[in-house]
Structure 1
Amino acid sequence: MKTLRYTGLLLCLPFIYGCGSKPKAVTSNANTDTIPVQVMPLQQQSGNTSITVSGQFTTDDEVMLSFKTGGIINTVNVKEGDAVKKGQLLATLNPTDINAQLQQAQLANEKAGRDYQRTQNLYQDSVATLEQLQNAKTAMQQAKQQLNMAVFNQQYSQIRAPKDGYILRKLANAGQQVTAGTAVLQTNGAGAGEWKLRVGISDHEWAALQINDKAEIETTALPGQTLQGVVTRRSEGVDAATGTFSADITLTGAKPKAIASGMFGKATISIQHGKTTGSQTWQIPYEALLDGDGANGYVFVTDDNKTARKVKVTVAAIDKNTVTITDGLANARSLIISGSAYLTDSSAIIVQSPKTASK
């Protein structure tokens, strides 16, 4: 009898153990599904943001100088860095070929004039026809235009300075054969032209940038100094060489003596979103942005401090530790800034203070 009672008791033990362990399992799963996070309130700011870009200084009157016709360069009278005066002779072609063409054109013009005069006399004597007279006149006019073209080509077989300025680059040397239009010298009117910083910008920076946006410019040639400028041009197409857009920032103050063409500079441009589009922006920590791709990214927000919600945002600029957002956060109350890596859309969360999280 005792043996039967003990056997029945042993068979009931697993059921008793199982019933007693269920509450602990439920509590454990509930704790695992709730993710601790930190949040910050979202507040719209003014539409003024900034982007940092870099480029090279240049002027608005740089010009590539070349010969009108091809030939062998006879002389190059300047070197890089030389100051030049308007009309100064900079380079010449070997004159043998162009002088021969000019003499041929002169001889042809003289012959055409004699032929026309002879035909006109014969026409008055009723020996030549009206058609012959007209053809002789046309030939004379053609010869005269050929002579004018030869004179023009001889004039532009020399390169002269278009204005006072400096030689920026020397691209060919004496004895070198060049074709018509090949650049030989690059000059600028550094004393009169406006100085500007030509910078490369991405597609979303191009979209945000506006003419007359103000900028502050720095260069290593002027340590501790800040130059003031304004955006005066945005390119309307991508540069095939760099794959980026470009913009010009024109200096608004006096040109410093330490600035030279080709020198590198760095500019911080203030983008006035509020004035151009009427939109507002948000500044969020860089760590809160997930899956960034160009001008788009994702963040987690919460409206009740109990559930996370994943939203798509538009990125206007990234500067050091902050990101400027222009769209996507209008209907959000708080931004999740810590713990985002463990979240999915609609995850349950528990908000912790920074002090609690550090412990």
Structure 2
Amino acid sequence: MTQINNPKSTQKSAQKSIIKKLLLPVIALFALLLMVAWLAGSFDEKISPSLNEDINQVSNIANFDKANTYTVIERSDAIFEPVAASVEAKQTTIISSRMLARINTIAVRAGDKVKKGDLLVELEQSDLQSQVLQTKQNIIALQARYKEAKQNFERSEELLAKQLISTFNFDKANADYQSIVAELTAAEQRLSQAETTLSYATLTAPINGLIVDRFAQPGDTAQAGAKLLSLYNPLLLRVEAQVREQLALTLTLEQKIDIELPSINKTITGEIEEIVPAANTGSRSFLIKTRIKHNEHLLPGMYARMLIPAGEQVSLTVPLDKISHVGQLDFVWLNVNGTVQRRFVRLGKIQANNMVTVISGLQSGDVVFTPLSK
């Protein structure tokens, strides 16, 4: 006997199965949300935020020195941006040879002080001296010929005036005279050139300065243009820095700025003497050169910091003796409408005269004082 299924019954069964499948995830999600809310404290008793009078408020103002109060006021302070800089020599030079020659002597070493005109390097000059001597002897011979040619020319002029010689003979005497004059002039020029070349063999200090380093030793062969010594003037130093364009455009020539020198623990005042009118395309900065006074402790290449003005900021300061502490927390006793409240504050840098900057917790006009028990 064949059993026939009811289509309506089958459809209802399928719908119930779908409802069960959807209901289970909804119940699980609801339970999860309840658990999260419980962990977050949603079912706990809430207390609205307020100052705890027992801790932050003191009703008896007699416990405080009412005469020793301080009223907080705003103060505008200049902001300075430190920029890495270096000490550079304003006047420096490299000593090099203008010819190829062997080095005979080097009269200085690194650290030696020299004056303008002092002997630094002496090159081999025997060949050059021979050339000068040979040229001088040649000039002596030419001077004798010149004297003879001049006398012949003057004599020919007199004879030509008396018509005792021909024009041809006079022209020949004149040509001989002019030729020897040209030879003598050329020889004198060669002597001047030989003496100049000989002077290149003796290198002297072009400025008063201090020898930084030497790059050759006696016996070496000096190449034309190759550096032998370097020196600078220690009396003329300056500080140079690459300053970002936004700050550099606010600077002017002759403006005075502070310069920190960490190596000698000093802060000096400099004066801007040059602003290079072209930015560095890599760093978008301008080269600023600052004139400084002579300091015997400064050397080229030392580290410095330029303090570039970058605007102003409003700050609040209070005396250090008004600050109390609880562990690592700082607070002050504040007079609020005749009652005393403890106000926690966040402190900044300690200033001069025992003052400290307050970053947050106070405002201008607040009155703070010190407890008598402190």
| TM-score bin, normalised by smaller chain | 0.5 to 0.7
Superposed displacement of residue 80, structure 1: 0.8
- Aligned pair partner of 2:308 in 253, 270, 281: 270
| Equivalence for 1:53 | 84
Deviations 1:318-357 (A, max 9, x none): xxxxxxxxxxxxxxxxxxxxxxxxxxxxxxxxxxxxxxxx
Work out the CA distance in 2 between the residues paired with 1:11 and 1:130. Answer: 142
1:273-312 → structure 2 map (5 Å cutoff)? none
Deviations 1:81-104 (A, max 9, x none): 112233322221122122112112
Instruction: Name the amino acid aligned to 1:217.
Output: I
| Equivalence for 1:248 | 289
Deviations 1:198-255 (A, max 9, x none): 44568888778765565443344303x122223433456799xxxx97543322xx32
Work out the CA distance in 1 between the residues paired with 2:19 and 2:173. Answer: 134
- Equivalent pair of 2:116/2:208 in contact (CA under 8 Å): yes
| Cα gap change, 1:111 to 1:203, in 2 (>3 Å) | farther
Instruction: Name the amino acid aligned to 1:73.
Output: I
1:7 aligns with 2:49: no
Deviations 1:121-150 (A, max 9, x none): 343432625444333322222211221222
- Aligned pair partner of 2:198 in 154, 167, 172: 154
Deviations 1:136-190 (A, max 9, x none): 3222222112212222333342222334332122222211111344332222232
Instruction: Name the amino acid aligned to 2:273.
Output: T
| Cα gap change, 1:214 to 1:270, in 2 (>3 Å) | farther
1:81 counterpart SS class: coil
1:98-177 → structure 2 map (5 Å cutoff)? 98-124=128-154, 125=156, 126=170, 128=172, 130-177=174-221
- Equivalent pair of 2:90/2:236 in contact (CA under 8 Å): yes
Deviations 1:1-33 (A, max 9, x none): 994443343566769979xx9xx9xxxxxxxxx
- Equivalent pair of 1:98/1:154 in contact (CA under 8 Å): yes
- Equivalent pair of 1:221/1:259 in contact (CA under 8 Å): no
| Cα gap change, 1:204 to 1:134, in 2 (>3 Å) | farther
1:195 aligns with 2:203: no
| Equivalence for 2:126 | 96
Work out the CA distance in 1 between the residues paired with 2:278 and 2:216. Answer: 31
| Equivalence for 1:218 | 260
Work out the CA distance in 2 between the residues paired with 1:247 and 1:128. Answer: 72
| Cα gap change, 1:61 to 1:268, in 2 (>3 Å) | closer
- Equivalent pair of 1:66/1:181 in contact (CA under 8 Å): yes
Rg: which structure is higher? 2
Work out the CA distance in 1 between the residues paired with 2:253 and 2:136. Answer: 55
Work out the CA distance in 1 between the residues paired with 2:278 and 2:185. Answer: 46
1:311-330 → structure 2 map (5 Å cutoff)? none
| Cα gap change, 1:62 to 1:11, in 2 (>3 Å) | same
- Aligned pair partner of 2:107 in 67, 77, 80: 77
Deviations 1:287-328 (A, max 9, x none): xxxxxxxxxxxxxxxxxxxxxxxxxxxxxxxxxxxxxxxxxx
Work out the CA distance in 2 between the residues paired with 1:116 and 1:4. Answer: 148
Percent same amino acid at aligned positions?
18
1:86 aligns with 2:86: no
Work out the CA distance in 2 between the residues paired with 1:236 and 1:65. Answer: 30
Work out the CA distance in 1 between the residues paired with 2:227 and 2:90. Answer: 18
1:260 aligns with 2:299: yes
2:172 counterpart SS class: coil
- Equivalent pair of 2:83/2:308 in contact (CA under 8 Å): no
Work out the CA distance in 1 between the residues paired with 2:279 and 2:184. Answer: 51
Q: Which stretch shows the higher mean deviation, 213-222 or 84-93? A: 213-222
1:105 counterpart SS class: helix
Unmatched 5+ stretches in structure 1: 25-46, 275-359
2:147 counterpart SS class: helix
1:148 counterpart SS class: helix
- Equivalent pair of 1:217/1:265 in contact (CA under 8 Å): no
1:63 counterpart SS class: strand
Unmatched 5+ stretches in structure 2: 30-77, 157-169, 312-374
Instruction: Name the amino acid aligned to 2:83.
Output: T
1:228 counterpart SS class: strand
Instruction: Name the amino acid aligned to 2:210.
Output: Y
Superposed displacement of residue 73, structure 1: 1.3
Instruction: Name the amino acid aligned to 1:227.
Output: I
| Cα gap change, 1:206 to 1:132, in 2 (>3 Å) | farther
TM-score of the superposition, structure 2-length normalised? Answer: 0.51
| Equivalence for 1:62 | 92
1:184 counterpart SS class: strand
